[in-house]
Structure 1
Amino acid sequence: MEFGSPLPEVVEVLAAGFGGRELIDWGGVALRLTGITALSPPGFSSGRAVLRTVTPVVMKGSGRGEDGVRATRQDWLLPVEPEWAGYFQGNLRRKAESLGIDPGVSLESVTWIGPKRGFRVGQGVKPGAAVEVEVSGAPETLQALWSWGLGQANSAGFGWIAA
């Protein structure tokens, strides 16, 4: 099981909380804790990264039809749809801004798209697909994205990047 955060303080608290436990009750499943390892993100000194997710990336779109009129509030996009890249890049920049780091990150290309998958979260189903993307930006920003995940609903397990 992996947990991640772009904030080292959060990771330290998680490690301390789990460190004193032998078992974790995860939704009724007993998980035996055998060790904790903190992983540091890659350096990304070139300012470029290829990030591949192991869980679907979910991204909400505008909900507007071709006529520009809003048709729905829950407009989940897949990586093959025209709005996806713009909303995805905006999400990357908002994450950087919320951490107070360089928001000059760019989606260069989507190099792989996995099959569509949907998971029930709360009151509905969130559809998405695992992706591999090439992004560019400041090394610190790329490290934070590696630790945070791609797309939306990362705290629910979406957009987790393969270590």
Structure 2
Amino acid sequence: MSSKILFVCLGNICRSPAAEGVARQLMPGIATDSAGTSDWHIGEPPYGPMQAAASARGYDLSDLRARQFTAADFTRFDLILGMDAKNIAEIESLRPPGNTTPVQLFTSYAPETGTDHVPDPYFTRDFDGALDLLEAAARGLKAALG
């Protein structure tokens, strides 16, 4: 069972911190973190509208702060989950030679949703739709971890 899971999106202010918030509530025994592939928001809290949407569902994201994904994350985590194919490509571009840490799309744990990515609500403005996908994927991840 993977014990340290990293969630990754572009800016680490919407999707990945929300995924971390959902996962830490659903799977309290699992160590989680989140990061972004960009350095745009380092040190910032999750985006206000995402925090509000998450809070309405009982998820507190207020203690989270954005950070950038680094190659060291491959050794710090047992599983790295990206929110879309571009995130996965950016993550993989930093993989150290010989490292075998699994990197997957988070939505691969929610095939019933019929989507291969979590659309970025910073641009779509659909914070609840993103949370629906994140919750479905977190439930699938929990089942997969046993």
TM-score by length of 1: 0.26
More strand by share: 1
More helix by share: 2
TM-score by length of 2: 0.28
